Amino acid sequence: MEQLSLYNEARSESRVIASSGVFQIELLEHVGEKDHPALIAISEQLAIEYGEKAILTKATIHRYFNKKGSLPFIARYRNDIIGYIIGVPIEELSHEPWARTDPNFGKYNTLYTYAFVMMSDFKGNGYAKMLKRVFISWGKKREGIHFITGHVEVGVSSKFSGEVKIASRVENWQGTGKIFEYYCRDLHPDQSPYQSNNPPLATRI
């Protein structure tokens, strides 16, 4: 019985949400230890752009991927993990000053895009777009969720489709020396009092 329990802890539990040939996207229900090395290795690609804090650890995998309320997806190519995206309730980031200043903090209606990465060898073939599209689609279906937010380098959010506005800018994101935008995507604009296509704000943190 104990061996079975250890086996269940080691393996991941997921559901295939979308697939195309040798590529598939899975909704993670539990990340087992067997997949920790792959997720950590992929996260190292984020360090150059987002800083060392973006690199996953076993602790952050458990805290965010296996946390109730999170929305984590992985992308696989020939059964190997090649990318992932995860949304976490913004309230889980209460230790971050910028999170507490979000007007929706405490309303439990916002998912923050904690990480979104695709291995460099698989960029430019549409896999990342498919992963992001699935993430947004499932965010819309999540009861009570009205917004998806995240930090991206200046100019990136202007390429996003849908109802997206820039809430603020951070001069030196995570010590990278780069200016990042904090964007907010309205998942249900027809139900929102906010105006569409809001211009970028000049607020800087």
Read off the pTM: 0.85
Bridge partners of residue 163, in order along the sequence: 186
**Is pLDDT of 108 > 90?**
yes
The pLDDT of residue 1: 43
| HSE value, Cβ hemisphere, 13 Å, CA-based, for 84 | 31
In the chain, the percentage of residues whose pLDDT exceeds 70 is 89
Confidence of residue 28 (pLDDT cuts 50, 70, 90): very high
Confidence of residue 205 (pLDDT cuts 50, 70, 90): very low
The pLDDT of residue 46: 87
- Residue linked to tokens 């190292």: 44
Helix (H) or strand (E) holding 134, with range, is helix 127-141
Helix (H) or strand (E) holding 16, with range, is strand 13-20
**Is pLDDT of 6 > 70?**
no
pLDDT digits (tens, 9 = 90+) for 37-52: 999 999 998 887 788 8
CB neighbour list of residue 94: distance below 8 Å, 6 or more residues apart = 100, 105
The pLDDT of residue 9: 63
Which residue would you say has higher pLDDT here, 21 or 202? 21
Ordered domains of the chain (ranges, CATH): 2-191 (3.40.630.30)
pLDDT digits (tens, 9 = 90+) for 178-195: 899 999 999 998 875 544
**Is pLDDT of 20 > 60?**
yes
**Is pLDDT of 151 > 70?**
yes
Lowest average pLDDT, out of 25-34, 140-149, 170-179, goes to 170-179
Burial 71-87 (b: 16+ CB within 10 A, else e): bbbbbbbeeebbbbbbb
Confidence of residue 11 (pLDDT cuts 50, 70, 90): confident
The pLDDT of residue 29: 93
